[in-house]
Structure 1
């Protein structure tokens, strides 16, 4: 989202030798700039506050924290939206975050909604219990709930997805990306973890390598047997900076084939980042 007359919070960030914005100076700037960015988004939209989906993970906790810094606790609403019993622990984490920030929050149990949805769609051409389709449907149901609350309260929906998830397609199309603002879409997971530590987000929150705990996705870190931070370093150098494959491989200590496979992963999920195809570019 481009905010009129406002410089990107990511502009001119000092970076470490690995290309990531995890230096003390970079984190200090982000702590100042991201709340200011969200405040400007709110003003430009003429909205009264933010709705933040909370899943018990680092990104949503950080999103809610900066939303409070930008708008005040009384203008931020948290939504905890589990669907299965396995989500109970992360849901309690999410509620603890909301309580610590002093924001209003609600737990919306989506299992009945999902069951009704699957029953309704069961007569279609595909199985109603397909795991990929189910996870994608849940992501879109959560965003639907967030927008219902936002519409009813003149608020904006802030989604916590990061650049690692965005590039690797660890999100549902028209799910987590279908928000009013994506404050962390330009920051890698490693950068967000460093930022969370700098802000003081509890380290015992759930940390997933393939997405948030309520939004599971395939993890290239697992498939390629490389750690998540190395994934971020490769993506930063190869995708953002356009460094050639042999150099990236040398700088990150992996095989060139690994860099190429990760790049192919990004290409394979490109459809998730494209706008809907139109016959003309005219607006």
Structure 2
């Protein structure tokens, strides 16, 4: 890997909906993210990157950008299915790794989860709590990513979009347990536009809508709006700090929907910040 250069800091060109999805914007993002990854590798004196592959658009784009930034020889993909319904997205993830020509390992975590349930059951605690077990699955994945990264002196790349981070649609100390938050400033809609710009094969994208451990309803569906509207609401309400009436007018949705999204972000604030601590008089 050669020494990376820092891209000039420029604001992304945005559409009227506040999102950076134009060709000019995606070209700019394509220039920023691979260089970001290369710079962080050099700063950390690391040997490469570990990218979790779950069959989603986000993980697919992250792996492609990692290859663009440091080369396929320095990228390790991890596919970590747990349940039987993870098999289809796991195969999609392995196809992505094959197309990108990166080293890829499948870690079947069902035996780990089964052993964990058996141990927890011995304490008298319930082992059939769906949310608790889904969170545990993500934390096992996080532990596996770091085990592999530690043994190889590599950095873990996060694939969580800004949409999920703001809404708290992640397991605490799970998916967001990473070294590099690659999409920390990009919404789902923007990553989808980036995937299109990167010419990700349509057959991959068609099978990327339901990643490992997917739920039946998306955050946007629960709010009764589409993904672009949700991302626009978050951009104007959170990034631009506009009032709910202003956001509703800009996006063209009911003010109650905006208020619900804002409340959603507020309730999950604890997932985005370090744990609270008591103040001491030093």
TM-score norm. by structure 2 comes to 0.92
Quote the residue 2:230 is aligned against. 231
Cα displacement string for residues 230-252 of structure 1 (whole angstroms, at most 9, x for unaligned residues): 10011101111011211211121
Count of equivalent residues: 275
Is the Cα–Cα contact under 8 Å of residues 89 and 208 in structure 2 kept in the other structure?
no
Is the Cα–Cα contact under 8 Å of residues 13 and 29 in structure 1 kept in the other structure?
yes
Task: Select between 240-249 and 111-120 the one with higher mean Cα deviation.
Answer: 240-249
Going from structure 1 to structure 2, the CA distance change for 1:281 and 1:171 (only over 3 Å counts) comes to: farther
The CA distance in 2 between the partners of 1:176 and 1:281, in whole Å, is 32
The CA distance in 2 between the partners of 1:143 and 1:86, in whole Å, is 20
Whether 2:156 is the aligned partner of 1:161: answer no
Quote the residue 1:94 is aligned against. 93
1:11-90 counterparts in 2 under 5 A?
Answer: 11-90=10-89
Quote the residue 1:273 is aligned against. 272
Is the Cα–Cα contact under 8 Å of residues 19 and 233 in structure 1 kept in the other structure?
yes
The CA distance in 2 between the partners of 1:272 and 1:203, in whole Å, is 33
Is the Cα–Cα contact under 8 Å of residues 157 and 180 in structure 1 kept in the other structure?
yes
Quote the residue 1:202 is aligned against. 201
Is the Cα–Cα contact under 8 Å of residues 171 and 215 in structure 1 kept in the other structure?
no
Quote the residue 1:116 is aligned against. 115
Please report how far the alpha carbon of residue 277 of structure 1 lies from its aligned counterpart in structure 2 after TM superposition.
2.0
Going from structure 1 to structure 2, the CA distance change for 1:207 and 1:98 (only over 3 Å counts) comes to: closer
Is the Cα–Cα contact under 8 Å of residues 168 and 271 in structure 2 kept in the other structure?
yes
Going from structure 1 to structure 2, the CA distance change for 1:190 and 1:158 (only over 3 Å counts) comes to: same
Any idea what SS the aligned residue of 1:278 has? Answer: coil
Please report how far the alpha carbon of residue 70 of structure 1 lies from its aligned counterpart in structure 2 after TM superposition.
1.4
Unmatched tracts of structure 2, length 5 or more: none
Going from structure 1 to structure 2, the CA distance change for 1:6 and 1:165 (only over 3 Å counts) comes to: same
Instruction: Report the aligned-residue RMSD.
Output: 2.0
Is the Cα–Cα contact under 8 Å of residues 80 and 141 in structure 2 kept in the other structure?
yes
Please report how far the alpha carbon of residue 6 of structure 1 lies from its aligned counterpart in structure 2 after TM superposition.
5.1
The CA distance in 2 between the partners of 1:125 and 1:8, in whole Å, is 57
Please report how far the alpha carbon of residue 207 of structure 1 lies from its aligned counterpart in structure 2 after TM superposition.
4.3
Any idea what SS the aligned residue of 2:220 has? Answer: helix
The CA distance in 1 between the partners of 2:165 and 2:254, in whole Å, is 24
Unmatched tracts of structure 1, length 5 or more: none
The CA distance in 2 between the partners of 1:127 and 1:185, in whole Å, is 34
Please report how far the alpha carbon of residue 79 of structure 1 lies from its aligned counterpart in structure 2 after TM superposition.
0.6
Any idea what SS the aligned residue of 2:76 has? Answer: strand
Is the Cα–Cα contact under 8 Å of residues 139 and 175 in structure 2 kept in the other structure?
yes
TM-score norm. by structure 1 comes to 0.92
Is the Cα–Cα contact under 8 Å of residues 165 and 272 in structure 2 kept in the other structure?
yes
The CA distance in 2 between the partners of 1:60 and 1:114, in whole Å, is 23
Going from structure 1 to structure 2, the CA distance change for 1:28 and 1:247 (only over 3 Å counts) comes to: same
